[in-house]
Chains A and B, each alone.
Chain A
């Protein structure tokens, strides 16, 4: 069984199962992450957001899911770069003239480039918030007599800087284009395709994952940046 499993995940199709499973898991994570972060828009000086971020940092179940999430991100990145390298090797000499615009979408041809932009974003993002929350020197706030790390003011301060807001907006475009192809592609990689359901999956990928979710994420830094002007 062990050898069967390693054989499976060494094959081109098996590696795509890993890509799809990790990618689609990250998509569900994105939804949960967005719903939580929308509390930034509550006009309460950050009370709801700070309670939420303390809950996320301390709840054992959330912590476990977070570690699964990190593992999937790593798997997705490593597998993605491995596949991209293999694909280059499959065509050592390229064409002098290529016209792929009529046969495939730009996103589908640039998944590794888009992924690399997302990776740069993730590093900055984790440094500013995850690392600070865990190891940094956080400001403290008091809510109903108890003291909490004041994540809200850290976020607001970061988002008020125009360069930071700009990085977010660019990165959310990258996520949008990555998922414009990626969400539906993940289902195809797992063999889930049906003439009735596949168009619905593609629409969900386009309208929810490529447009609405990145737009709402981008709205947060834009809102705080404009507020600070």
Chain B
């Protein structure tokens, strides 16, 4: 199939960028979206041009690196997928596809489609952990946890930190990500000692990074490749209030 790509090219964070148009005459529908970029980059390198910088790692939907805003949607037209799991059969012969980087002041552009998501790391460093003294490993079943709580915590822990929630949110809010990282610990007994401090510190770090506020549009939940639920945002809203009252 023939695909025309309009790709955002930007040398670095300081110089302004613009769209470049590339035509690929022979794209296989079994290719993933990233494989199409591999083919394009191969061609650019052969012609002695600068290849397009984009993030990727696992290419199986679990690392969260492959950030691309495709035709107006984070990770493209499908819901619940990453870019590496998006295949060209979901496009039509002759399509023009617009590809942009995640856009948020908290995610500065490094080059082309690559953005710096270390703001997420700093939010986690602010409180997304459990402090335990090291020693002998404790038996895994020594603390009983209700199955339902364990399942909910596991659902929150499925977040891969891809940033699609921020990219898709009209306010560039990180509430879905932060609430997943708060919830995965708030739901477990091991997370209780630091529960109040954690939510306060992580929300403070989130605000400091310059993410927007939550309008509850719900777009993040729809576009999240791991199906992280708005339930976690509600839990964080509750926990934050409680922590400010008791702590």
Contact = CB atoms under 8 A, between A and B. Distances in A.
B216 A185 contact: yes
Interface of A: 4, 7-8, 11-17, 83, 86-87, 89-100, 102-105, 108-109, 111, 181, 184-185, 188-193
A12 B69 contact: no
Contact of A97 (B71, B215, B236, B241): B71
Contacts of A104: 170, 217-219, 222
22 contacts: A4-B244, A11-B203, A11-B204, A11-B207, A13-B203, A13-B214, A13-B236, A13-B237, A86-B212, A86-B213, A87-B170, A87-B213, A90-B104, A90-B210, A97-B98, A103-B218, A104-B222, A105-B218, A108-B217, A109-B170, A188-B216, A191-B235
Contacts, number: 136
Interface residues of B, number: 46
A191 B223 contact: no
Nearest to A93: B103
Interface stretch (B26-34, B59-67, B134-142, B226-234): B226-234
Interface of B: 8, 19, 69, 71-73, 79, 98, 100, 103-106, 168, 170-173, 203-204, 206-207, 210-219, 222-223, 230-231, 233-241, 244
Contacts of B240: 11, 13-14, 191
Contacts of A8: 244
B241 A17 contact: yes
Residue of A90, A100, A193 ringed by the most chain B CB atoms within 10 A: A90
Given A83-B213, A90-B210, A91-B103, A190 B237 contact: yes
Q: Is the interface of B mostly helix, strand, loop or mixed?
A: mixed
A224 B157 CA distance: 59
A33 B244 CA distance: 35
Contact of B103 (A86, A94, A181, A191): A94
B71 A99 contact: yes
B73 A102 contact: yes
A2 to B, nearest CB: 13
A18 to B, nearest CB: 11
Contacts of B213: 12, 15-16, 83, 86-87
Contacts of A91: 103-105, 171-172, 212
Contacts of A105: 217-218
A191 B238 CA distance: 5
A12 B209 CA distance: 12
A44 to B, nearest CB: 44
B72 A90 contact: no
